[in-house]
Structure 1
Amino acid sequence: MEQRPRIVVGVSGSLGSLAAVHRAVAEARRLGGEVLALHAWEPPSGEFGHRRSPCPPLLTAVREAAATTLAEAMAEAFGGADPGVPLTARTVRGRTAPSLLAAADRPGDLLVLGPSGSWLHRGLRGSVPAYCLRRAACPCWSCRAPNSPSPSMS
């Protein structure tokens, strides 16, 4: 039995990630596929810091905050309406880019990414789209944030 195409999309709650969710749903409609929306989270001090001094109540709070962020982003993206395609929203524990690449592991998957975060975020954590575009085993689609200027031609 042939699997339906799966579109994996990263969701942070930013406008850019919401644009990526809409693009993923549009592609799923076009291809007759399904959408897997992922929100990755880590302990505040990272995995190494958490192993050094674990704090279960803090970990629980961060996990719940991640689930809330994902639920609010999906509600904002669709306003409670049915997206018209099978959609699964999931939180995963781990760094964002490796988690997205691990999820987009089936033949025929498509990975849809929003724009990278602020310059500070990119400086501290690196660009998720750049990381994924360099390492993905499946096709990737990187979306621009809504109302962002188009690149100039020089």
Structure 2
Amino acid sequence: MRPRVVAGVGGGHGSPAVLRRAAAEARLRGAELWAVLAWDAPGAGAGGRHLTGPAPSLSVFREDAAERLRRSLGAAFGAAGAGVPLTGRAVRGTPGAALVDIADDQDCVIVVGTGSRGAAHRLLWPSVARYCLAHAPCPVLALPPSPLRAGLAAVHRRNVLRLRLDTRELTDRDGV
């Protein structure tokens, strides 16, 4: 079996960076790229959302996950494609366990984003990167969020609070 680079796709802002880094890793290793988006029906598991009224069928959630995966792949690679053999998978389950199950031997590599890890977020959602690091039989490459994302969040908070923004704070302090 050909080696695999398994990329965790969450559908958020960090997914294109994770997918591009995973594609570069696949090129270096002569491996296939597997883009994996894990999903579950709302209300599944502890802390899940609860629906009122009749629940949609699982096929609705599966199709939604597949569409989010397609959008993430489009945002990362556009029409040009990944440049490596690519398999997209929308799998039902928790993200960490799904990635570890697919990257089931030592020839694989898992690429995940670490995401935003504020205190409230850590309490509600476990870290996929930590799960993979603890359980994967293969190397795990965990990408930190872009430093630009923190700057953008700070500007957004200032706008919401209607605080004055000093544009000098947005430029590089070293004048580069």
**TM-score normalized by the length of structure 1:** 0.83
Q: Which residue of 2 aligns with 1:125?
A: 125
Query: Structure 1: which amino acid aligns with 2:115?
Result: S
Asked whether the 8 Å contact 2:40–2:94 carries over to 1, the reply is yes
Give deviations 1:52-109, integer Å, cap 9, x for gaps.
xxx6634222111111100100011111212110010110000111111101103310
Sequence identity of aligned pairs in percent? 42
Q: Which residue of 2 aligns with 1:9?
A: 7
Question: Aligned partners of 2:144 and 2:61: how far apart in 1?
Answer: 28
Match of residue 25, structure 1, among 13, 17, 23: 23
Question: Aligned partners of 1:148 and 1:137: how far apart in 2?
Answer: 33
Question: Aligned partners of 1:16 and 1:134: how far apart in 2?
Answer: 22
Asked whether the 8 Å contact 2:9–2:36 carries over to 1, the reply is yes
Question: Aligned partners of 1:34 and 1:63: how far apart in 2?
Answer: 23
Spell out the pairing of 1:103-142 with structure 2 (5 A cutoff): 103-119=102-118, 120-142=120-142
Deviation at 1:148, TM superposition (A): 5.0
Deviation at 1:14, TM superposition (A): 1.8
Q: Which residue of 2 aligns with 1:61?
A: 60
Deviation at 1:4, TM superposition (A): 2.6
Higher relative contact order (CA 8 A, sep 6+): 1
Query: Structure 1: which amino acid aligns with 2:92?
Result: R
Aligned residues: 143
Q: Which residue of 1 aligns with 2:81?
A: 82
Ranges in structure 1 where 5+ consecutive residues have no aligned partner: 50-54, 150-154
Deviation at 1:123, TM superposition (A): 1.8
Question: Aligned partners of 2:3 and 2:57: how far apart in 1?
Answer: 37
Question: Aligned partners of 2:116 and 2:41: how far apart in 1?
Answer: 19
Deviation at 1:118, TM superposition (A): 5.0
Question: Aligned partners of 2:117 and 2:68: how far apart in 1?
Answer: 18
Asked whether the 8 Å contact 1:116–1:122 carries over to 2, the reply is no
Q: Which residue of 1 aligns with 2:147?
A: 147
CA 12–47 in structure 1, closer or farther in 2 if over 3 Å, else same: same
Deviation at 1:146, TM superposition (A): 2.6
